Amino acid sequence: MFSKKTVKDVDVRGKRVLVRVDFNVPLAEGSVTDDTRVRAALPTLRYLVDHGARVIVMSHLGRPKGEPDPQYSLRPVRRVLQRLLGRNVVFVDDIVGAEAHEAVDRMVDGEIIMLENVRFNPGEKANDPEFAKALASLADIYVNDAFGAAHRAHASTAGVAQYLPAVAGLLLSREVETLTSMLTDPERPFVAILGGSKVSDKIGVIDRMLDCVDSLLIGGGMCFTFLVAKGVDVGRSLVEEEWIEPARQMMEKALERDVEIMLPVDFVVAEAIEHDSETKVVGREEIPSDMMGLDIGPTTSELFKGAIGMARTIFWNGPMGVFEMKPFETGTREVAMAVARNNRAVSVIGGGDSVAALKKFDLEERVTFVSTGGGASMKLLEGTTLPGVEALMDKDA
Ligand code: ADP
Ligand code: MG
């Protein structure tokens, strides 16, 4: 259960509401190339406008160095927001200065203004109390809807909450609620599919998953560290030496918990990671010493698809192979399709590259929930508290 107050628990009419969104979108030549994050913020922004709030939107974009840098201006995002909302959005080339205050003073109920990139101020990443106070002075209420940035304790994601009544937006609350209830109250069987490049990135998630799931399917680059722990010779495949022992401990924990860990039994191998690499399929005991496993093989796909088909709860993070390249995309596609086909299961997908894979195969609409937070969802799943959520008011307070 989500224990924090949301926009629906406070009276926003006629109030100046400062909303932190995650508009950290990809840009190319000054245009937004993927508007997913802007769309994700629409329910909260629409709710506020419909309830007569004066909405001040703020976000970060990219990694400017604490000073204005035109290539990271949020100005191009205004057009996108304006189009998606179907209403005028005023852009202010300022964050907490006189220009921002004047723009806020001119607002009427139901209006939206957008501030410039909060990371143009060095106080943002430093979580400087002075900058947080200055942000707070623009508004009467603070709303955090930036789930994708909630794992960072910055001025606009956490600090500002100390100086204003602070509540969650609809996206942030839904993200936290979906991911939390998946772990605490899943329909069984609960199958987690983990892949991606590194064990080191995901060890916390693997550990926590072993407390909740019935089966854990491991593919992607990370599976080789597990295979080495089992004594398999994996050739030149990606292995993290210092994570072999933790991987072995995870397999021991799985045994104790009666969780089935499924590792690939065959691979697509190649000498190089190229778009036109020559590939072959080999059993996992037959990986040539000069080759790398770059995708799960067809027998593994069938095994994984069987487990996925029987699940009632599915969590998927991390591609099964180097899905960005045609020769190594099949395993990820097969797994994604199996997840999409199982419409009796609640399916939750998290992680930047996994979501990109889902989009590439045009399956985004066919799963239950696509998390917008990469790092934030991983932190939440490994049990780390998110500063951007912690800072908000408790429901029963
Ligand atoms: P996510 O962003 O979904 O959490 P990760 O960032 O952990 O996923 O991993 C994604 C990356 O893992 C992709 O760029 C993919 O190319 C890479 N990858 C997957 N399988 C392998 C493999 N067998 N060897 C090397 N890299 C791999
Ligand atoms: Mg990634």
Question: Over 90: is that where the pLDDT of 232 sits?
Answer: yes
Question: Is 375 noted as a catalytic residue in this protein?
Answer: yes
Active-site residue identified among 52, 309, 352, 374: 352
Ligand nearest to the CA of 350: 1
Query: Can you list the pairs that 369-373 forms with residues at least 24 positions away whose Cβ atoms lie under 8 Å?
Result: 369/178, 371/147, 371/175, 371/178, 371/179, 372/22, 372/36, 372/37, 372/40, 372/147, 372/148, 372/171, 372/175, 373/22, 373/147, 373/148, 373/150, 373/151, 373/175
Q: How many CB atoms lie within 10 A of CB 302?
A: 13
Out of 234, 243, 267, 322, mutate this one to test ligand 1's pocket (max ligand atoms within 8 Å of CB): namely 322
Q: Which two tokens stand for residue 355?
A: 């979501």
Question: Is 37 noted as a catalytic residue in this protein?
Answer: yes
Active-site residue identified among 37, 119, 202, 379: 37
Question: Over 80: is that where the pLDDT of 1 sits?
Answer: no
Question: Over 80: is that where the pLDDT of 14 sits?
Answer: yes
Alpha-carbon distance of 160 to 123, in angstroms, equals 11
Q: Which two tokens stand for residue 243?
A: 């994570």
Identify whether the C-beta of residue 217 lies closer than 8 Å to the C-beta of residue 174.
no
Query: Tell me: the pLDDT tens digits for 46-87?
Result: 999 999 999 999 999 999 999 999 999 999 999 999 999 999
Query: Tell me: the pLDDT tens digits for 51-62?
Result: 999 999 999 999
Domains of the chain: 7-170 (3.40.50.1260), 178-382 (3.40.50.1260)
Ligand nearest to the CA of 272: 1
Q: Please give the average per-residue pLDDT across 250-278, as a whole number.
A: 97
Residue 355 CA: which ligand 1 atom is closest? Answer: 3
Query: Tell me: the pLDDT tens digits for 298-333?
Result: 999 999 999 999 999 999 999 999 999 999 999 999
Ligand 1 neighbours, Cβ below 6 Å, are: 195-197, 201, 220-221, 238, 293-294, 317-319, 321-322, 324, 351-354, 374
Question: Is 352 noted as a catalytic residue in this protein?
Answer: yes
Alpha-carbon distance of 190 to 182, in angstroms, equals 9
Report the separation in Å between the CA atom of 370 and the middle of ligand 2, taken as the mean of its atom positions: 15
3-state secondary structure of 257: helix
For residue 189, whether the previous peptide bond is cis, meaning omega lies within 30 degrees of 0, is yes
What's the longest Cα–Cα distance across the chain?
A: 71
The protein residue whose alpha carbon is closest to atom 16 in ligand 1 is 322
Put simply, whether the predicted model's pTM sits higher than 0.85 gets the answer yes
Burial class (CB in 10 A: 0-12, 13-18, 19+), 184: exposed
Q: Nearest to residue 352, comparing CAs of 6, 20, 85, 22?
A: 22
